[in-house]
Amino acid sequence: MSARILLVALGGTIAMTGTGRGVTATMTADDILAAVPGLDRLGVTLETVTFRNQPSASLSILDILSLYELIGSRQPYGVVVTQGTDTLEETAYALDLLHDGPSALVVTGAMRNPTLAGADGPANVLAAVAVAASPAARDLGCLVVASDEIHAARRVRKTHATSVATFASSEGGPLGYVVEGIPRFVNRPARRSRPYPLAGCSPAPTSGAGWTALPWGRTEERQPASDHKARPHDLPAHERQPPDVHGQQPHYLAAHEQQSPDVSYRAARPAHLPDHERQPPDVSHQAARPQDLPAHEQQPPDARSEEVRPFDVPAPGARLPGDAGASVWLPRVGLYTATLGDDGELLDGFASALDGLVIAGFGVGHVPSAWPERLSRIAGRIPVVLTSRTGAGSVLHRTYDYPGSEQDLLRRGLIPAGFLHPYKARLLLQFLLSRGADRDEITEAFAAEG
Integer Cα distance of 51 and 152 in angstroms: 24
Sheet holding 78-82, edge to edge: 45-50, 4-9, 78-82, 104-108, 142-146, 149-152, 176-179, 182-185
Integer Cα distance of 122 and 104 in angstroms: 19
Q: Pairing relation of β-strands 415-416 and 384-388?
A: parallel
Instruction: Give the active site residue among 13, 87, 166, 387.
Output: 13
Q: Is 166 a catalytic residue?
A: no
359 strand-pairing partners: 336, 386
Integer Cα distance of 306 and 294 in angstroms: 23
Among 367, 450, 364, 360, smallest CA distance to 412 is for 367
- Which of the residues are catalytic? 13
